Structures are given as structure tokens and as C-alpha cells.
Structure 1
């Protein structure tokens, strides 16, 4: 007995191919020995910038005859670029998602979710209404879609194809060469209430003051810092702080003085392995009575 909704039906060949190619993207992204190959990485990116849009089109426009092959391909590329751009913006403002492989994995997972929806939509159609893509026939249909058009229409189509290709290549270049801001480290002092105010600068002899020393790493990599705190050239604290990128450390610090007068509390931050040049510095003047 013939099963109309069997996945062996040619009507599902394009979706099955999309699933197989997406699986290849995942393999390339997961296994370092494969994703070190530049050609494979570029191929994966180019295909990722087509398949998500194609399966999205297959979900919302699943019927045959709703548009010709050229328009479907063009819109698939455009939608894929939009999906990649939107996800790229989300990843840009999300800590920890700055790996090309991780981005490919997330896009591939999203593609599989859309593929499930596309399969379900197509299963509900009659056999005559399903898209069936014999790939050689599709090539001839693409050729035929240009026949009967005026020279202006053909020129407009060619320009559209060129723009789409340029958009894809530009997106690939941006993903492969992401823009990074100037690396820097935040170094700050907070009062005992956790705000940049109400510092305890007026003390009596041996009275304790409290503050918070903050360090935030925006250097793009793990950094080892050396924090040195001095009062009138006497070292009060000397410690090493190791921070991953985009992580912060806030250190509680207690200070006091056993002699009256004006004291200079110095906070010096070194970026190791350089122990000679102070990378960031802060100071606080105390009045001790």
C-alpha cells in the first residue's frame, strides 16, 4: 500500500537534503580537525546563509506553484541573511557567545526546529500540492524563468543575484572577521554602600575605613592582574587576581592609620607579566586626626 506521507516520497527530497547538509555543518563545527579547514568553514557558512531561509519559506509557502524557483531561491537567501543578522546582534550583546562554531551550532539547531515545522506543513498537503524538486529539472526551470523577459527585466534579475551574492559574502566576511572594540580594563573604587560615593576619608587614629576595589576584564582574553595597595609607600595589600574576559572581581578592603595627618592611599593595578609598569591606578586622600 502506498503511503502518501512517507519521507521517501520525492516531495520531501529538498527537506531531507537540507537536514543532511545541516548535520554536516554541525559535524564541521563540533570537530576541530574539520573546522580548521578554511574551505570547509566557508562552505558551511555559505550553506547556513541559504538553508535557514529556504526551510522557513518551505514552512510558510509549502505549496507548489506559489512562486517560481528563482524567486524562492532569492527570498531564501534574503531570509537567511536576515536570520543570521538578527542572531548576530543577539550574540554580540550576549556574553560567552562569541565563537564561530557555537554560532553555527545555534543556527543549525534553529534550522532543525524550522525543518520539523516544514515537514508537518507539507504532510498536510495533497500530493499534487506538494513541492517536488528534481534538481536537474529545477535548473531548467531556472533557465526558463528568464525566457520571455525583456532585457531590462533580465538585467534587474542579474543585478539582484549579484547583490544577494555580495550580501552573502559580506556577511561571511563579518562573521569570519568580527569587529572588536579597543581592549581595556575597568578599575574603580566604591564606598562601603557599594556606590561611587560616601568614601570614608575622615578618620581618627586606628579607626577602620571600608571600601570596595573593582576590576572588570574587557581585554578579550584571560588576564592575570597584580593589585598593590599602599599608604605613604607602605604596602598594605599585594595580591594576584586572575579574570576571564568580561568577568569582574570586587574586593573588600579595610584600612586604617596609626598616626595623624593627611595620608595618600594608592591603588595600583599591573597587567602581568609586566610588574614594572602600572596599568591602571587610583588614589584616595585621607584626613586622620
Structure 2
């Protein structure tokens, strides 16, 4: 019979980290904090592999700690791209929410399997991370009175070095080096894909596209968008085209336009202006459309 009294502390921590990561990514008030990055790194680089190793090797003697740690990183690096590859062939695609749901579901499923398999092992044979004994050992080592003043000084320097290393690592993670500053500007068809653009319209018929802007300028930026047909006809309401985006923020909007004149191979321009500088477009795209008389 399975034993009911085991407490897989490491699995509980993995589950808690998955839940916290989901909260800090999905809740708008928390999604822009550095904690999101701190939680997101192990979510991608460690937790999927660790949960898989826990499910495959539930016994203490299956692998030692160093092997589990190394394989956790290695399998995470292998599993995450495979999940992304599968998502690429689904209607959801490789986007933040599908990736988050897929990684969370995989990790939690492996945790359930790990707990199930550990419960069938004899008492004491299941793998567990000795958090408490490690804490007691470290505490006794720190609080133990050194044999000499030199030992006391070295112990203090060691603790300070460890804390400094942790702080430095956290700083590097949450404040990455500023890269190239740019703005993404794109147009999609009505179905949200880079195809099926309106290329043939009748005079007075509406055409629909999706316009997207992504700010990678490392600062808040103001944008304006114009739609111009053959350098003469402005098609987009100026009031609807004023956008303010923070760094890494995305704006997408379905825009409907109605050509006011007929013609072949008419150039429909999408002009993006930045920071109220209307003298020259910051980015520009165009489509060629045919507008036929009714």
C-alpha cells in the first residue's frame, strides 16, 4: 500500500515557485517588477528538468545530488525548446501565455508523477532534499566560536563574499545590459497572420488590417500612425492613432480603412511617427492595392 505520511518538500517548493511565477507574470501590477525575471529564469532553465528527473528517478540511490542538479539544467534546456516546437504547430503559437501554461502544466504533471512514485517506495528510500539538516549544519558552522581570531575573520569574509556574490548575480539578472534601441512596426491580415492582406477592393468597400507597434526603446515613447493612399488620401483618424508605450509594451489594433478613389497598384502607406516628430516617419510600411469602380 502507498504510504500517506511522506512530505516531498522539494516538490512542494517546485509547485510554489511555479504558482508564484504565474502570479508575477499574469498580474499586471506585478508583471513589471524584477521579481518576475528572478522567478522566470528557474521556471525556464531549471524547474521543468528537475521535475522530470524527480519523476524518472524517485529513489534516493538513483542519482546523487550533483547528477540531479546537472541533469535538471540539461533536461530543462532540452524540454523547453521541444515544448516551443510543439506550440509552433498549434493555433496558439509561441507566445507568452501559451508558453507559460505549457511549462507550468508539464512541470506540475511531472511533480504529481514524482509524488506518486515516491509514495510507493519504502520509508526512507525516497529522494528528498535535506533542507533542514543543511540549515542546521550551516547555522552551527557560522555560530560556532572559531579557534582563533584569524578563523573568525576568515569566516566573516566568507559570509560577506557569498552575500556579495548573490547580490551581484541578482543585480546582473534584473538589470541586463541595455541593447539596441528600436521599435517594431508591423501589419497583419484580418486573421492575425502575415498573409491575406486586402489587395483588391471596390470603391467604397472597407479593408481591414491589424497594425502592431512594440516599444524596445528602453523608455516611454509616444507614437502616431497615419494611413495614406497614393500620397494624397489620409485614411486613419488622427485621434485614434496616438499611442504611448512603455519599454517592451505591445500595441495592436484592428484598423478599417475605406479608399476614396479608384486605381490600380495604389500604394497604401503605413507611417509611424515617434515623439511628436511629424517631419519624417520613424518607420514606414506599405501595401499595393487595386481599387475598382463600383
Task: Tell me what 2:247 maps to.
Answer: none
Task: Tell me what 2:161 maps to.
Answer: none
SS at match of 1:239: coil
Q: CA RMSD in A?
A: 5.2
Relative to the length of structure 1, the TM-score reads 0.53
CA drift of 1:275 comes to 5.4
Q: Structure 2 CA distance, aligned partners of 1:187 and 1:58?
A: 43
When residues 223 and 95 of structure 1 are mapped into structure 2, their CA distance, relative to the original with a 3 A threshold, is farther
**Counterpart contact for 2:50–2:69, Cα < 8 Å:** yes
When residues 61 and 35 of structure 1 are mapped into structure 2, their CA distance, relative to the original with a 3 A threshold, is same
SS at match of 2:60: coil
Q: Deviations over 1:98-137 (max 9, x none)?
A: 48xx855653343222211222222233335422332366
Task: Tell me what 2:130 maps to.
Answer: 134
- Which structure 2 residue ranges, 5 or more long, are not aligned? 136-169, 190-195, 216-221, 244-249
When residues 17 and 138 of structure 1 are mapped into structure 2, their CA distance, relative to the original with a 3 A threshold, is same
Task: Tell me what 1:73 maps to.
Answer: 69
Task: Tell me what 1:143 maps to.
Answer: none
When residues 36 and 129 of structure 1 are mapped into structure 2, their CA distance, relative to the original with a 3 A threshold, is same
SS at match of 1:219: strand
Number of residue pairs matched?
228
- Which one has the largest radius of gyration? 1
Q: Deviations over 1:159-184 (max 9, x none)?
A: xxxxxxxxxx9xx79x9989999734
Task: Tell me what 2:228 maps to.
Answer: 228
Q: Structure 2 CA distance, aligned partners of 1:195 and 1:24?
A: 41
Task: Tell me what 2:236 maps to.
Answer: 239
When residues 15 and 78 of structure 1 are mapped into structure 2, their CA distance, relative to the original with a 3 A threshold, is same
CA drift of 1:72 comes to 1.2
Q: Structure 1 CA distance, aligned partners of 2:19 and 2:265?
A: 62
CA drift of 1:29 comes to 3.2
When residues 61 and 76 of structure 1 are mapped into structure 2, their CA distance, relative to the original with a 3 A threshold, is same
**Counterpart contact for 1:69–1:138, Cα < 8 Å:** no
Is residue 23 from structure 1 mapped to residue 19 from structure 2 by the alignment? yes
When residues 227 and 178 of structure 1 are mapped into structure 2, their CA distance, relative to the original with a 3 A threshold, is same
CA drift of 1:59 comes to 0.8
**Counterpart contact for 2:83–2:102, Cα < 8 Å:** no
When residues 252 and 90 of structure 1 are mapped into structure 2, their CA distance, relative to the original with a 3 A threshold, is farther
